[in-house]
Amino acid sequence: MTACQGPRDDTLRGGDGNDRIHGNQGRDVIAGGSGDDDLRGGTGAHEFLFVPGRGNDTISDFEHFQDAIVVSVALLGPATTGAEVIAMFADTSSGVAVPDFGSETITFSNLTHFDDLADNIFNA
């Protein structure tokens, strides 16, 4: 599935397959489905939601201090702050920033380090 939205504040959710979900202008909430999804916020500030069972997703255009990562407490375990999430789950060995939650990963294809990312991570 490919989903693209217009200039309003939208909530976009993926399905069971490998989806391409692209927000646009506005403050979108974007959640991939159970497949391996390509997520893009577009212009504006966006929230990317991650919960158990959502596969391995890639965010292509994450903007520090603008976009937010909202991660389910079920994935975080004892990590409660953005800094703890980075310390416990961060991996940059492949040249891109990848928080690894075991069976779930988030690849930030436009980031090569986690500097300042802790301020953009929240738990839900």
pLDDT tens for each residue of the chain, 124 residues long = 545 555 567 888 888 899 999 888 888 899 998 889 999 998 889 999 988 888 889 999 999 889 998 888 887 777 678 888 877 777 767 666 677 777 788 888 887 777 777 888 887 6
What range does the domain containing 104 cover? 2-123
pTM of the model: 0.82
Q: What CATH code is carried by the domain that includes residue 116?
A: 2.150.10.10
Biggest distance spanned by C-alpha atoms of the chain: 38
Q: What's the rounded Cα separation, in Å, for the pair 73 and 50?
A: 10
Domain count, the chain: 1
pLDDT of residue 95: 62
Q: Which helix (H) or strand (E) holds 30?
A: strand 29-31
pLDDT of residue 6: 54
